[in-house]
A and B are shown apart, each in its own frame.
Chain A
Amino acid sequence: MTEPLLSVRDLHVTYRSEAGGVPAVRGVSFEVAPGETLGLAGESGCGKSTIAGALLRVLPRGTQVTGEVLLDGEDVLLMNPGRLRAVRWTELSIVFQGALHALNPVQRVGDQIAEAIEVHRTTQDPGPRVAELLETVGLPARRGEDYPHQLSGGQRQRVLIALALACNPRILIADEPTTALDVMVQAQVLELLERLQRELALSMIFITHDLSTLSHVCQRTAVMYAGRIVEEGPSEDVFARAAHPYAAALAAAFPVIGDEAFRMKPSGLGGDPPDPRAIPGGCPFHPRCPVVRPECPTVDVELWPAGQGRRAACVQVLDGAPR
Chain B
Amino acid sequence: MSEVLLETRDLHVRFAARRGEVARAVDGVDLVVKRGEVLALVGESGCGKTTLARTIMGLERPAEGEITFEGEPLRYDGGFLRTYRGKVQMVFQDPMGSLNPRQTVYEAVAEGLRIQKLPGDETMRVADALARAGLRPPERFLQLYPYELSGGQRQRVVIAGAMVLNPSLLVADEPVSSLDASVRGEILKLMLELVRDAGVTILVVTHDLGLAWNIANRIAVMYLGRIVEEGPAEELLSNPRHPYTRALLSVVPEVEEMEQQILTGEAPDPTRIPPGCRFHPRCPLVASGEAARLGIEERCRTEDLGLATVTGLDENHRAACYAVSR
Contacts and interface: CB of A to CB of B under 8 A. Distances in A.
12 contacts: A182-B207, A182-B267, A183-B248, A184-B267, A250-B182, A254-B181, A256-B254, A257-B213, A258-B255, A263-B234, A266-B214, A268-B182
Nearest to B187: A268
B151 to A, nearest CB: 7
Given A210-B253, A250-B182, A263-B213, A184 B238 contact: no
Interface stretch (B3-11, B54-62, B256-264): B256-264
Interface residues of A, number: 41
Given A254-B253, A272-B153, 17 more contacts: A154-B266, A182-B266, A183-B44, A184-B251, A184-B262, A187-B251, A213-B253, A215-B253, A216-B253, A246-B182, A250-B181, A253-B181, A257-B209, A257-B237, A257-B252, A266-B186, A268-B189
B262 A187 contact: yes
Given A184-B251, A188-B262, A265-B214, A209 B180 contact: yes
A98 B292 CA distance: 41
B181 A43 contact: yes
Contacts of B17: none
Interface size for chain B: under 10, 10 to 19, 20 to 34, or 35 or more residues?
A: 35 or more
B306 interface: no
A152 B238 CA distance: 32
Contacts of A270: 186
B255 A273 contact: no
Contact of B249 (A43, A246, A249, A257): A257
Interface string B217-232: 0000000000000000
Interface in B175-200: 180-189, 192
B160 to A, nearest CB: 17
A272 B180 CA distance: 9
B180 A44 contact: yes
Contacts of B184: 253, 266, 268
B213 A185 contact: no
A244 B181 CA distance: 16
A192 B292 CA distance: 31
Contacts of B167: none
Contacts of B151: 272
